[in-house]
């Protein structure tokens, strides 16, 4: 846990033993961020949450690779984080970044696995693969995978080839991910056909946000006014981030 949080083992020991006096507010904020803890918001199992959770369970149990490519604000990341927290010993969750090189990508995967992230690129890859081989029904969630450059995306082939049937992979991104892969397949770019084949030649699309979804989220987060809920739904444009923004605005007005 200390390696995953990128803090000292002494800090983790102090937390476990309730010795909190020496832990600064800044350190608590770092830990909160690393663990994706949000005390101001309640996650709700809306339809997309249930659908994504089903695919995560399927990928994990069967050791297959599944890809989701859909617009932002459809509950992808929120579901991934909730699933990771419930399956932390066998699930690795990573939010991808455009700035990563192949080596920094592997280092991020190792940190997310709670492992040492030192060494050459080949050593990092071998350590990561060995760790996954040691787990029972492991799952790797690559969120915002559309941000990965080709060299990093190509590593998925190494992961797949060594772990096929043993480790599940969930690869998720916005619509640009599907367009990029299909365009690469059409142009016969190296690696793209292989990638597309390994995800079953299919990208999953999610459901649109419904009024029922918005109502459940509103009720769970302190909004019960029917007119306000209708306004929030009408204003969301199929984006749950808009829903949260409007809920936060409503609650601020209530406390003003």
What's the pLDDT tens digit per position in 73-109? 999 999 999 999 999 999 999 999 999 999 999 999 9
Q: Is 80 exceeded by the pLDDT of residue 204?
A: yes
Q: Quick one: what percent of the chain has pLDDT higher than 70? A: 100
Rounded mean pLDDT, 193-206: 95
Q: Which of 104, 116, 126 is nearest to 9 (CA)?
A: 116
Q: Is 90 exceeded by the pLDDT of residue 256?
A: no
Q: Is 80 exceeded by the pLDDT of residue 40?
A: yes
Confidence at residue 255, expressed as pLDDT on a 0 to 100 scale: 86
Residue with tokens 């918005």: 214
Decide: 204 and 66 in contact? Cβ < 8 Å.
Answer: yes
Q: Is 80 exceeded by the pLDDT of residue 63?
A: yes
Mean pLDDT of the chain: 96
Confidence at residue 168, expressed as pLDDT on a 0 to 100 scale: 97
Confidence at residue 228, expressed as pLDDT on a 0 to 100 scale: 97
Strand partners, 69: 173
Decide: 68 and 203 in contact? Cβ < 8 Å.
Answer: yes
Q: How far is CA 253 from the centre of its chain?
A: 32
Rounded mean pLDDT, 116-121: 96
Separation between Cα atoms, residue 224 and residue 226, nearest integer Å: 6
């Amino acid at each position: 846990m200390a390696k995953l949080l990128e803090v000292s083992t002494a800090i983790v020991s102090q937390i476990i033993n309730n010795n909190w006096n020496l832990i600064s507010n800044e350190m608590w904020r770092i830990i909160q961020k690393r663990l994706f803890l949000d005390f101001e918001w309640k996650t709700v199992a809306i339809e997309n949450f249930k659908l994504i959770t089903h695919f995560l369970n399927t990928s994990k149990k069967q050791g297959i690779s599944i890809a989701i490519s859909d617009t932002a604000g459809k509950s992808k990341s929120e579901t991934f984080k909730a699933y990771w927290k419930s399956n932390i010993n066998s699930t690795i969750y990573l939010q991808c970044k455009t700035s990563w090189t192949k080596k920094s990508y592997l280092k991020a995967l190792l940190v997310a696995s709670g492992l040492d992230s030192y060494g050459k690129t080949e050593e990092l890859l071998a350590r990561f693969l060995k760790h996954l081989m040691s787990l029972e029904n492991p799952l790797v969630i690559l969120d915002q995978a559309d941000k990965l450059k080709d060299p990093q995306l190509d590593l998925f082939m190494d992961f797949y080839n060594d772990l096929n049937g043993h480790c599940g992979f969930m690869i998720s991104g916005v619509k640009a991910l599907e367009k990029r892969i299909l365009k690469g397949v059409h142009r016969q770019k190296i690696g793209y056909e292989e990638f597309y084949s390994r995800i079953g030649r299919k990208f999953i699309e999610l459901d649109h946000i419904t009024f029922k979804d918005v109502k459940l989220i509103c009720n769970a987060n302190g909004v019960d006014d029917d007119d306000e809920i209708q306004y929030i739904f009408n204003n969301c444009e199929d984006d749950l981030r808009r829903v949260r923004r409007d809920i936060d605005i409503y609650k601020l007005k209530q406390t003003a």
